[in-house]
Amino acid sequence: MSQNHQLVEVVLPVPLESTFSYRFIPGEEGGTLVSSGDLVAVPFGRRKKVLGLVLNVSDLDPETKKVDGFVLKNITRVFGPEYRIQDDRLKLARWIASFYALPLGQVVPLFHPPAPGTKARASKIKTIPYPKVDADGLILTDSQRAVVETANQWVRDKKYATMMLHGVTGSGKTEVYLTVIKQALELGRDALFLLPEIALTPQTLSRIQARFGDQVAAIHSGLSAGQRCRVHEAAARGEIKVVVGPRSALFAPLKNIGVIVVDEEHENSYKQDEIPRYHARHAALIRGRENKAVVLLGSATPDLESMHNAIRGLYTHQSLPERLGGQLPPVEIVDMRGVAVPDGFSPVLRDAMDDTLAAGKQIILYFNRRGFARMWQCRDCGEVVECPRCDIGLTYHLRPRRLLCHYCDHTINVPEKCPACGAADFLPSGGGTEKVELNLQALFPDARILRLDHDTTRRRGSHQNILASFARQEADILVGTQMVAKGHHFPGVSLVGVLSADHGLGLPDFRASERSFQLLTQVAGRSGRTGAGRVVFQTYQPEHPVIVAAARHDYGEFLESELPVRKALGYPPYRRLMRLGLSGRTQAVVQEAADQLARAMRTHLEPCGITVMGPAPAVFPRLNDRYRFQILLKGTLNPDNRQWLKECLKNFKDAYRKVDVLHDFDPVSIY
């Protein structure tokens, strides 16, 4: 005898608040039924297969054909118990939806692999090629032991607590994480270990795997769909206990989490810049709370918002003030004003490089612009060749020879004649990493040079290959963009040179100083991990407080100079921010829409203490052939405000079909 049909209410990843009704026909003989929390596949509109989350189930008369006037369609697939979204993960999904003012359905895809149920091919998951590391734990220093004891006590007490672990570069934060995780595992708890980007931190992954072996699985972009499913299913079945990965690893279906590590917690990549725009560091706290877990936020340069929370007593602040087995390298500030350096290298830096190479040591050079020349400019009339889609100067690249837009990837052949005056005399001005590399070859013809930037890492795996090759000391000099500043440990490096330390300071973003301080401190920290090291900052602003504080590795000094500025201007961490970005092909239409939206925001939100700023043209007012405006909100939106905002944006989108609007809570940049 056949069972009753089921009426199933599903949320789908579409920008609508509503749920959708489907029919489920159980199999002939005691086939399983659908229950709330199940992940299912359904037809939706013209699409044959859309994944959704089951919210409610009730009995259905098999004769019923329509619900609310809509013809019922059948659920086509129910995924297994490994894919159910329940308990703490469902609470986290609901929190993200509410906090970031999104429909629940748009949050659900975070909680399952893109193609659930895909079978992995039998081949072993490819590990990242990297020199093997010791599996044994090291002996902890006194400061490390103090931190571990605090965290371990919390884990034993099943206490939800957050630690801001502020440890200078090379102070042994990873060893602390691993020791705390080890105890959690012994107590039968699981662990999540978040890293900004696994491609940039292969050493940390190797260490975790070496320590915990088969209990660990990593999620990263190098996995196939089937491998991702295998990790997901194994986590759900309790076969693995530690999941390592970028922000998406936070949603792994581990059952009983005792520790969540957010390493390099200041990194922007923890914020997703597409829907759903959530911050994994913030979401980690919610998952920690639901699991009564300890959350460890670690950094040498803590995010100002995290540090502010620690100062306010929301987090416990612990520090590792000393570098293991050595000192932080001294930083020399070289004043570049009035120094003629056609190749970009001051005499101080060149001498330091000579000495380093002569001693058989390695060098990292940091220059935060890729390409050969920033501008391709006519010598006769001064015309700068711009991207036709973005109104921004194109960057000259040598290999292959072309002009490239760094914002939309638009490429053109290098013009023979000036488009404005017809002259054939161009001046490539402002350097990039490609030019630095070429100058290096001329200056140090015997040195082996590697370059790490967006252009040399387009192919999958090239990141890791360059880093691994440099770690094996197959090159003398690594030159690159901010990719070289991330958490690598290169024992052979004894000199770091920053070619233009003031580079990021002028950016029109209130976080420009913070980002510069973080980058300079992090890149300086690559020098002298074993033995003596030195660092050279070349700058045109040698007295700038950010450069001075970074040169002293002094986070406290930076904090003291920056917090009063933020407070005076009402920026985070003192007030929250939300950005509304509008774009469209017709400037007047976007402008009018932005005016309307800002007016609605003012009327409704200003009485609640929210400051509405704008609309104003975005920092880049035209990108990819779209005109851009933005509105900024300052202040904390309460749940009613968020609900109102959701409805307001929905009505707005219905009224202005030719204008795209995005909303971003706690944006990491306001471009």
Binding residue for Zn ion (CB under 5 A) from 115, 138, 421, 655? 421
Closer of 82 and 625 to Zn ion (Cβ): 625
Binding residue for Zn ion (CB under 5 A) from 82, 290, 332, 380? 380
Binding mask 340-379 for Zn ion (x = CB under 5 A): --------------------------------------x-
Closer of 62 and 388 to Zn ion (Cβ): 388
DSSP letter, residue 555: H
DSSP, collapsed to helix, strand or coil, labels residue 653 as helix
Which stretch, 67-75, 259-267, 390-398, 558-566, contacts Zn ion (CB under 5 A)?
390-398
Per DSSP (E only), the strands in 388-514 are 395-397, 402-404, 411-412, 426-431, 449-452, 477-480, 493-498
Closer of 85 and 392 to Zn ion (Cβ): 392
Closer of 18 and 411 to Zn ion (Cβ): 411
Closer of 253 and 581 to Zn ion (Cβ): 581
Give residue for tokens 């933020």. Answer: 566
| Min CB(463)–Zn ion separation in Å | 25
Which stretch, 17-25, 167-175, 421-429, 453-461, contacts Zn ion (CB under 5 A)?
421-429
| Min CB(143)–Zn ion separation in Å | 49
User: Of 423-462, which residues contact Zn ion (CB under 5 A)?
Assistant: 423
| Min CB(384)–Zn ion separation in Å | 10
Closer of 115 and 381 to Zn ion (Cβ): 381
Per DSSP (E only), the strands in 500-599 are 534-539, 577-584
Closer of 380 and 595 to Zn ion (Cβ): 380
| Min CB(380)–Zn ion separation in Å | 5
| Min CB(410)–Zn ion separation in Å | 4
Closer of 353 and 378 to Zn ion (Cβ): 378
Distances from the Cα of 658 to the Cαs of 76, 583, 586, 618, in angstroms?
A: 35, 9, 9, 18
Q: Which two tokens stand for residue 200?
A: 């940039």
Q: Which two tokens stand for residue 557?
A: 């000094």
Closer of 410 and 650 to Zn ion (Cβ): 410
DSSP letter, residue 214: G
Closer of 430 and 545 to Zn ion (Cβ): 430
Distances from the Cα of 621 to the Cαs of 392, 581, 587, 614, 617, in angstroms?
A: 10, 11, 10, 14, 5
Total number of residues that touch Zn ion (CB under 5 A): 15
Number of other CB atoms surrounding residue 241 within 10 Å: 24
Q: Which two tokens stand for residue 364?
A: 């990292």
User: Of 253-312, which residues contact Zn ion (CB under 5 A)?
Assistant: none
| Min CB(618)–Zn ion separation in Å | 14
Q: Which residues contact 139 (CB under 8 A, 6 or more apart)?
A: none
- Note whether 386 binds Zn ion by CB under 5 A: no
Closer of 420 and 655 to Zn ion (Cβ): 420
Give the distance from CA 502 to its chain's centroid: 23
Burial of 36 (0-12, 13-18, 19+ CB in 10 A): middle
Binding residue for Zn ion (CB under 5 A) from 289, 389, 402, 575? 389
| Min CB(422)–Zn ion separation in Å | 7
Query: Looking at this protein, which amino acid is placed at residue 412?
Result: I
Distances from the Cα of 613 to the Cαs of 579, 605, 631, in angstroms?
A: 10, 12, 6
List the 331-335 sheet strands across, edge first. 331-335, 534-539, 493-498, 362-366, 477-480, 449-452
- Name which of 251, 258, 246 is nearest 236 in CA terms: 251
Which stretch, 35-43, 48-56, 282-290, 422-430, contacts Zn ion (CB under 5 A)?
422-430
**59-84 exposure pattern, b = at least 16 Cβ within 10 A, e = fewer:** ebeeeeeeeeeeebeebeebbeebbb
| Min CB(17)–Zn ion separation in Å | 36
Number of other CB atoms surrounding residue 105 within 10 Å: 25
CA angle 389, 392, 398 (to 5 degrees): 100
Q: Which residues contact 350 (CB under 8 A, 6 or more apart)?
A: 443
Q: At residue 111, what are phi and psi to the nearest 5 degrees?
A: -95, 5
| Min CB(408)–Zn ion separation in Å | 3
Closer of 363 and 404 to Zn ion (Cβ): 404
Binding residue for Zn ion (CB under 5 A) from 16, 314, 339, 381? 381
| Min CB(197)–Zn ion separation in Å | 25
Closer of 207 and 622 to Zn ion (Cβ): 622
| Min CB(389)–Zn ion separation in Å | 4
Binding residue for Zn ion (CB under 5 A) from 135, 187, 314, 420? 420
| Min CB(621)–Zn ion separation in Å | 13
Closer of 288 and 393 to Zn ion (Cβ): 393
| Min CB(411)–Zn ion separation in Å | 9
Q: At residue 12, what are phi and psi to the nearest 5 degrees?
A: -125, 155
User: Of 397-416, which residues contact Zn ion (CB under 5 A)?
Assistant: 405, 407-408, 410
CB 505 within 8 A of CB 476: no
Closer of 379 and 472 to Zn ion (Cβ): 379
| Min CB(391)–Zn ion separation in Å | 8
Binding residue for Zn ion (CB under 5 A) from 383, 509, 557, 660? 383
Closer of 130 and 407 to Zn ion (Cβ): 407
Burial of 3 (0-12, 13-18, 19+ CB in 10 A): middle
Per DSSP (E only), the strands in 264-412 are 294-299, 316-320, 331-335, 362-366, 373-378, 395-397, 402-404, 411-412
| Min CB(130)–Zn ion separation in Å | 36
DSSP, collapsed to helix, strand or coil, labels residue 504 as coil
Binding residue for Zn ion (CB under 5 A) from 57, 387, 505, 668? 387
| Min CB(664)–Zn ion separation in Å | 22
Q: Which residues contact 671 (CB under 8 A, 6 or more apart)?
A: 509, 618, 619, 620
| Binding stretches for Zn ion (CB under 5 A) | 378, 380-381, 383, 387, 389-390, 405, 407-408, 410, 418, 420-421, 423
